[in-house]
A and B are shown apart, each in its own frame.
Chain A
Amino acid sequence: MSPLLDFYAKHSRLIDQIGVNAILALSLSVSLQAGQLALAQAAFMGIAAYVSTILAINAHWPLIATIVVAVLVSTVVAALLAYPVRRLRGVFLAIATIGFGEIVRVVANNLKITGGAEGISSIPNDATTPVIYGALALVALALFALSRTKFALAVALVREDEHAARGVGVDVGAIRTLSLALGGAIAGLAGALYAHSSFFITPTDFGFVRMEQILVWCVVGGVTSPLGAVLGAALLSVLPEVIRFLADYREITNGVILLGVILFAPGGLSSLWRRGTVRVRV
């Protein structure tokens, strides 16, 4: 066996996790770029994971079809969530969306169809490494294409100054809803891939700890940089394997890294290569 294949055989699970986590980080990055501290990504991920799993196990749908439906459902849920939280900003938005995440987790914990607290097992492992990284590439390409549109400019304007954005004709409510829905779609994709690359899923997979992880990846990478978010996710997914002797203290190490970044590189990893000035060319 070649060293590369040998490496893959040893670490395929971690490699797949990095891909899924990178997609998750991109999903939160979309909301953060619009200045929305909306922390419901783990819930969108969970909803899509359950939808895709139930369709695969109960209805025997093929992977692609389960992913499409799961992404549609998570997108609609995210768009609907945007309405009741439309007037909330900053920490109030964060608390409301975390609350929504808890509701989703508790509901999943108590429904028969989701398997309750024990979750669902024997999920077909058909989200292979090429499928996961193909999806990541697709998301990255779509976001890159989007970054050259007026939507991206409007997102940047809403983040910078909602009041002035309205003054130049931006429908702030629509931009906030669209960015939350887009984030929900991407988180849904990650959720479906997560389910189909794991043997089983439980409600705790999509709880507050997962959400906190996704936020930390984005803060470490740089909240307004998609590439930074991906790097943050990759780095913090690999780190526990590198420092296995601290495995029991994963949340503590995450917290220490987060504090370090906030104190010494507030712009995250992306500030190492990005200028302070934001350029949006449309």
Chain B
Amino acid sequence: MSLVLEDVGVRYGGVDALRGVSLTVEPGRVLGLIGPNGAGKTTLVNATTGLAPLASGSVALDGRRIDRLPPHRIARAGIARTYQNIRLFGALDVHANLAAGAIARPGRLGRAELASLLERAGIAGLDLTARAGALPYGDQRRLEIARALAGAPAVLMLDEPAAGMNPSETTRLVDTIRGLAAGGIAVLLIEHDMPLVRAACDSVVVLNFGQTIARGTPSEVGRDPVVVEAYLGTGAEALG
């Protein structure tokens, strides 16, 4: 299932948080969404998942408009997300967090499926009875991905999953993200870590002040002077 945003606009009071943004996230591919802080990246995820109302444009999943649905129905339609600031159910254990991700699916998660979810998120063998809020930071990030996967989503939106991770954890995260796309999931990745974006993404959309300023492959975007000026600066070589 493809996720298609067309001419999406979001207004907060008198401010255009997003203006005329269009993009497509396709199954089996990873689309990177980059831009400076305040560019509208998280707003785009919020607009897609029903948390920010659209002022204009449309969001469609598999050809069906979803932008007028409430957030829980958008989630049930097959869009899962993680959050910039981790939003696990901290007082609940790992098992309950995974069950939460699968709450809209019929039946219950078996042992094998629980183990598989943890493995796909790169935290194989994590103690299912551990309190989610007490896990190391990197494990919490990955548990949030596992929770999102538990709902068997068609589209996965990862909001800065590498934030706070060390370089070796970030390298492992690339394998995780590529593995998810290889499994047929359409992945939207918001990241500031340019080596991660280059390694994980098939294509990239760059936002600035709520508008698209560039799109293309990571290397094309990395060479775009507008992007270099607005965002990458001297780090442009990271994408090139």
| Residues of A in contact with B (beta carbons under 8 Å apart) | 150, 153-154, 156-157, 160-161, 163-172, 276-282
Lowest 7 CB-CB distances: which A-B pairs, in order? A169-B104, A169-B75, A166-B71, A277-B131, A164-B87, A160-B89, A169-B76
Q: Is the beta-carbon distance between B91 and A280 smaller than 8 angstroms?
A: no
CB contacts under 8 Å to A, within B55-96, are 70-73, 75-76, 80-81, 83, 87-93, 95-96
Flag whether B151 is at the interface (Cβ < 8 A). Answer: yes
Interface centre among B76, B100, B129 (most CB of A within 10 A): B100
Residue B147 is within 8 A (CB to CB) of chain A in the complex: yes
List, in ascending order, chain A residues with CB within 8 A of B101's CB. Answer: 168
Contacts of B99 in A (CB 8 A): 153, 280-282
A-B CB contact pairs (8 Å), 7 listed: A153-B100, A157-B103, A166-B50, A166-B51, A168-B151, A279-B92, A280-B96
Q: Is B108 an interface residue (CB 8 A)?
A: yes
Tell me whether B91 and A157 are in contact (CB under 8 A): no
**Is the interface on chain B under 10, 10 to 19, 20 to 34, or 35 or more residues?**
20 to 34
Is B211 in contact with chain A by the CB < 8 A criterion? no
A168-B103 contact, Cβ under 8 Å, with A277-B131, A278-B96, A280-B96: yes
Q: Does B203 contact A (CB under 8 A)?
A: no
Minimum CB–CB distance from A246 to chain B (whole Å) comes to 37
* Chain B residues with CB under 8 A of A150: 103
Q: Are B89 and A164 in contact (CB under 8 A)?
A: yes
What residues of chain B have their CB less than 8 Å away from a CB belonging to chain A?
Answer: 49-51, 70-73, 75-76, 80-81, 83, 87-93, 95-96, 99-101, 103-104, 108, 129-131, 147, 151
Q: How far is the CA of A57 from the CA of B53 in the complex (A)?
A: 55
CB-based contact B100/A157 at 8 Å: yes
- Give 6 new A-B contacts, CB below 8 A, not counting A168-B100, A282-B99: A153-B100, A166-B51, A167-B71, A169-B103, A279-B129, A280-B96
CA distance A171 to B70 in the complex (A): 9
In whole angstroms, what is the CA distance A37 to B157 when docked? 33
Cα separation A106 to B90 with both chains bound (whole Å): 43
A172 to B103 CA separation, bound complex (whole angstroms): 13
A156 to B95, CA, bound (A): 13
Q: Is the CB of B93 within 8 A of A170?
A: no
B residues in contact with A153, CB < 8 Å: 96, 99-100, 103
Nearest CB of chain A from residue B53's CB, rounded to whole Å: 14
CB-CB under 8 A from A161, the residues of chain B are 87, 89
**A153-B103, A280-B99 known; A167 vs B81 contact (CB < 8 Å):** yes
CB of B75 within 8 A of CB of A166, answer yes
A160 nearest CB across to chain B (Å):
4
Q: How far is B70's CA from A166's CA once the two chains are assembled, in angstroms?
A: 9
**A160, A171, A281: the one within 8 Å of B91 (CB):** A160
User: In the complex where A169-B75, A172-B72, A282-B99 touch, is A157 in contact with B89 (Cβ < 8 A)?
Assistant: yes
CB contacts (< 8 Å) of A164 on chain B: these are 83, 87-89
Given the complex of chains A and B, what is the CA–CA distance between A169 and B103 in angstroms? 7
Which B residue sits closest to A170, measured CB to CB? B72
Shortest distance from the beta carbon of B44 to any chain A beta carbon, whole Å: 15
In angstroms, Cα B96 to Cα A125, docked, is 46
Residue among B76, B90, B96 facing the most chain A CB atoms (10 A cut-off): B96
A171 touches B131 (CB 8 A): no
Given B51, B93, B104, which contacts A168 in the complex, CB threshold below 8 Å? Answer: B104
Taking CB atoms, residues of chain A closer than 8 Å to B73 are 169
Nearest CB to that of A275 among chain B residues?
Answer: B131
Query: Which chain B residues border A160 with CB–CB below 8 Å?
Result: 89-92
A163 contact set on B, CB distance < 8 A: 51, 87
Which residues from A are CB-within-8-Å of B93?
A: 277-279
Known contacts A156-B96, A167-B49, A282-B108; is-contact A276 B131 (Cβ 8 Å): yes
User: Please, which residue of chain B has its CB at the minimum distance from the CB of A276?
Assistant: B131
Chain A residues lying within 8 Å of B71, measured Cβ to Cβ, are 166-167
Question: A156, B49: Cβ atoms under 8 Å?
Answer: no
Q: In the bound complex, do residue A156 and residue B103 qualify as a contact, i.e. CB atoms below 8 Å apart? A: no
Q: Which residues of A have CB within 8 Å of B130?
A: 277
Q: Please report the C-alpha to C-alpha distance between residue A161 and residue B89 in the assembled complex, in whole angstroms.
A: 7
- A279 CB contacts on chain B under 8 angstroms: 92-93, 95-96, 129
